[in-house]
Amino acid sequence: MATTRIADEPAYVLHRYDWSESSLILEVFSRRHGRVALVAKGVKRPTSQYRPVLLPLQPLRLGWGGDAEVRTLSSAQWQGGHVMPSGDKLLAGYYLNELLLKLLARDDAHPKLFDHYADAVLALAEGHEAQAAVVRAFELLILREAGLLPTLDLECASLAQLLPDAHYRLEPEAGLRLVNAADSPAALHHALAGDSWLLLQLALDDPHPFAALLRVCHGARGNALRQPLRQLLHYHSGVRVFQTRQLMLDVRRLRPLHPPEPFPTP
């Protein structure tokens, strides 16, 4: 059987693992082939032309071949366009990568999500002031693309249209649920008004959903979404704390005199 060969594929490196003294295993997210594992032979040598290219959060064009679970990298070229994010925005970018690794299966293409990811990385690299909105927008889009986000314009149990002035809680197993006075204070605290959920659904249905979600998730509404999306992401990924969030908390403890911008993880 002929060996599959891929050339000039838009992709990003999500994570790198040491494989030998001179080689790496790469987890990459590609536009037409989804998440793929590649072995980059000899890339750690000082003379390797790929060594300065295979970095996370950089738009690349990759080539590879093989039919095994781990393919062999054959070419890599920096596509250009922006520099790597820095500071807290770099950690936010690593968090987006962790979401892709935790929620997407290998060899499952998501071309629309790839484009949304590229938009999010570009926004972080350009120093978008609403860092939390960038993260919230991508969380919603990856949950939708993975089939894990319930509809946000209906109460899931009754399929009733949301009431703009009522408050609804997003639950991992039940979707949106109407909150009433008998619920606990925590349930009331993490509920959003119906008109907020309706605006989010309209943004998801927009022809350019990332840009639309950036507008909707800016400010207080984005902050209110943090806890509901955190619960949903933890439930479906099977992890209690994302490694990038823990890293950010550790960094904060090391620089208590200079508090950073709040890191908008789930």
Please report, for residues 31, 93, 120, 121, 206, the alpha-carbon distance to residue 127 in angstroms, rounded to integers and kept in the order given.
24, 12, 11, 10, 24
Between 70-74, 151-155, 259-263, the lowest mean confidence (pLDDT) is in 259-263
The whole-number pLDDT of residue 259 equals 52
pLDDT digits (tens, 9 = 90+) for 6-53: 999 999 999 999 999 999 999 999 999 999 999 999 999 999 999 889
The predicted structure's pLDDT at residue 265: 45
Under the banding of pLDDT at 50, 70 and 90, the label for residue 180 is: confident
Provide the pLDDT confidence category of residue 1 given band limits of 50, 70 and 90.
very low
pLDDT score of 4: 84
Contact partners, residue 133, CB within 8 Å, separation at least 6: 213, 214, 217, 218, 219, 222
Q: Which of 84-93, 106-115, 139-148 has the lowest mean pLDDT?
A: 84-93
Residue-wise pLDDT for 181-203, tens only, equals 666 666 677 789 999 999 999 99
> In the block, which residue shows the tokens 């939708």?
144
Counting every residue, how long is the chain?
A: 266
Question: Is residue 77 pLDDT above 60, yes or no?
Answer: yes
pLDDT tens column, 200-229: 999 999 999 999 999 999 888 888 899 999
Mean model confidence pLDDT for the chain: 89
Q: Distances in Å between the alpha carbon of 202 and those of 27, 141, 144, 161, 195?
A: 33, 13, 13, 14, 10
Euclidean distance between CA atoms 36 and 112, whole angstroms: 17
Sheet with 167-171: strands ordered across: 175-178, 167-171, 192-193
For residue 245, the model assigns a pLDDT of 74
pLDDT band at 266 (very low <50, low <70, confident <90, very high): very low
111: Cβ–Cβ under 8 A, 6 or more apart, which residues? 31, 32
Predicted pLDDT at 93:
94
Q: Give the Å distances, CA to CA, from 245 to 42, 150, 229, 242, 264.
A: 32, 25, 14, 5, 9
